[in-house]
Structure 1
């Protein structure tokens, strides 16, 4: 990796308000390194020492204290959401297919990552609250901030624990419509300096290609999900029987498979509007009612959609899965490999969505300089 690329990494560690100054200074030092007989590696090491040692004050970010505090709280929300995604992934990915030792390692690893994300969330919440609290004594401010952050996290965990299944079933069933409405109607900043994409791939593709790629990805995931629910998973759970025989046996035992299949198909239909919206953007561009769907919004919508779709398979297949479990004395986990694959894709997309959708971290000065 070139010294210039390493310096770009150091710049990302700096507060927004200081990046233009240090970018010019460090790149100038690299240009003059040979003349000054200074190793380029020494300049890079010095850049990282400076970036990591710079105080994170509101002035350094070119923000008011309240703005910086709210930004840190958004990062806290992002990390907590990522922790929830990782926990769900650790619970759903193993299914029935993976050997017990591998499933245990995978679940434990994702649980550890979830705890790390939750720790980052708690730290971000504490720092954000300390920035917002008008307390002069440092020790008291930090104590209050930590107490409020921990109390808030505990309340959220209790609410999630009490209402998780009910809300999960409801929200999972209408997630496709929710993502569509938010993608189309949620306001965006009109300043191009605030609409950059990171790492920039959607911007290089353009809005129409990005939308076409997003629509194709979501449609492929949806097709795989439906086949998993109504074909592959039932056959994997009851080996030795053909699909029609499995459904006939369910009906004979009073399990009404048409209800479970109907739930899966209705859930799949709820994702059709989002795919059609993305295809419309790919065809006509982001104009008229689709004006909010620029490259950045399309990319984030694709990530959020893939995450909600992948985790929604559990919701869509709940009825049919229970029928299979009751009729054939199996567990409720996925037996076909398509289930863990969809959930793994949802976990990766969900973490990426949480860490890039919730926080708003790009300052105009940074975008203009980049």
Structure 2
């Protein structure tokens, strides 16, 4: 258990990032322009003067640090230099932070597609809701874990006067 949990946490953060990037770069643009292929959407965005590359690079750049930190936490915990519960708490925190990262990362691509095809800039598919749900669940687990950890501590000794 002590080695599996940090590795599972790192994999969860990586999966979150992968779904986030795929949602931003592939699924949402295609859902915004039904019937168009991915290549047609890319060509439409580029043809309208918007940058497809910026819409791809920003999600990668914003999600990558969390994946790297999760992997480092996992490696340090597996090596025995960090308690698995501490690594898990930090990885849960990374999942919580995934929601605002997703929102910020999706904005440039959403605007590029919206401007190119005159569609709304909001999400057009369910992946963001799933990601936000995972972030909310991670926040809940983090709070419950913190409360359980605090309740397990012994009471401080009264100070003698």
Structure 2: distance between partners of 1:258 and 1:244: 13
1:147 corresponds in structure 2 to: none
Structure 2: distance between partners of 1:232 and 1:279: 30
Shift of 1:352: 3.0
Shift of 1:321: 0.7
2:110 corresponds in structure 1 to: 321
Normalized against structure 2, the TM-score is what? 0.84
Q: Go from structure 1 to structure 2 and tell me whether the alpha carbon gap of 1:301 and 1:309 turns closer, same or farther (over 3 Å shift).
A: same
Show CA shifts across 1:153-206 (max 9, x none): xxxxxxxxxxxxxxxxxxxxxxxxxxxxxxxxxxxxxxxxxxxxxxxxxxxx22
Q: Say whether 1:342 aligns with 2:131.
A: yes
Aligned 1:196-235 pairs, distance under 5 A: 205-206=1-2, 208-235=3-30
Structure 2: distance between partners of 1:241 and 1:324: 12
Structure 2: distance between partners of 1:343 and 1:244: 28
1:214 and 1:278 in contact (8 A); partners too: no
Please, which runs of 5 or more residues in structure 1 have no aligned partner? 1-204, 288-292
Q: Go from structure 1 to structure 2 and tell me whether the alpha carbon gap of 1:316 and 1:359 turns closer, same or farther (over 3 Å shift).
A: farther
Q: Go from structure 1 to structure 2 and tell me whether the alpha carbon gap of 1:352 and 1:363 turns closer, same or farther (over 3 Å shift).
A: closer
3-state SS, counterpart of residue 334 of structure 1: coil
Q: Which has the higher contact order (CA 8 A, sep 6+)?
A: 2
Q: Say whether 1:298 aligns with 2:93.
A: no
Normalized against structure 1, the TM-score is what? 0.39
Please, which runs of 5 or more residues in structure 2 have no aligned partner? 156-161
Shift of 1:283: 4.2
3-state SS, counterpart of residue 270 of structure 1: helix
Radius of gyration: which is bigger?
1
Aligned 1:53-92 pairs, distance under 5 A: none
1:304 and 1:350 in contact (8 A); partners too: yes
Structure 1: distance between partners of 2:150 and 2:105: 35
Shift of 1:354: 4.1
2:48 corresponds in structure 1 to: 253
Q: Go from structure 1 to structure 2 and tell me whether the alpha carbon gap of 1:213 and 1:321 turns closer, same or farther (over 3 Å shift).
A: same
Q: Go from structure 1 to structure 2 and tell me whether the alpha carbon gap of 1:212 and 1:336 turns closer, same or farther (over 3 Å shift).
A: same
Show CA shifts across 1:290-344 (max 9, x none): xxx3122122112211111133211111111111112222222221221111111
Q: Go from structure 1 to structure 2 and tell me whether the alpha carbon gap of 1:212 and 1:282 turns closer, same or farther (over 3 Å shift).
A: farther
Aligned residue pair count = 155
Q: Go from structure 1 to structure 2 and tell me whether the alpha carbon gap of 1:210 and 1:354 turns closer, same or farther (over 3 Å shift).
A: same
Q: Go from structure 1 to structure 2 and tell me whether the alpha carbon gap of 1:273 and 1:364 turns closer, same or farther (over 3 Å shift).
A: same
Measured on the aligned residues, the alpha-carbon RMSD in Å equals 2.2
Shift of 1:242: 0.9
Show CA shifts across 1:77-119 (max 9, x none): xxxxxxxxxxxxxxxxxxxxxxxxxxxxxxxxxxxxxxxxxxx
